Amino acid sequence: MSQLTAWEILRRPRLTEKSTRLREEAARWKKRGETFVFEVDTRANKIQVRRAVEQVFGVEVAHVRTVNVRGKKRRYGRSLGYRSSFKKAYVTLKPGSKTIDFLEG
């Protein structure tokens, strides 16, 4: 098995209502760092995700939590389909570390 690069590990940020709420809660409680949510490669572990985020964004990571999300059943009329399964990572930055700006460049 080949080694995954940082850009292969981090697929895309998950900009949802829950991830936005997690960032706002971190701003309210100064002792905790901001939490960002990424969709990552299913083969990546927590250590690889941590190194990839630190390398790509130049931030300090406090801890990483991962969740395997199973694909859901989708029905379109009479036909039946499935959404793809994926892995999600909650990355919490150390307090005082610089932030990640997704919407700016």
pTM of the predicted protein model: 0.84
pLDDT for 103 equals 59
Instruction: Give CA separation, 15 vs 5, 11, 20, 79, 80, in Å.
Output: 23, 13, 7, 30, 27
pLDDT tens for the chain, 105 residues: list them.
468 899 999 999 998 898 888 888 876 766 677 889 999 999 999 999 999 999 999 999 999 999 999 999 888 888 888 889 999 999 999 988 888 887 554
pLDDT for 2 equals 63
pLDDT for 1 equals 47
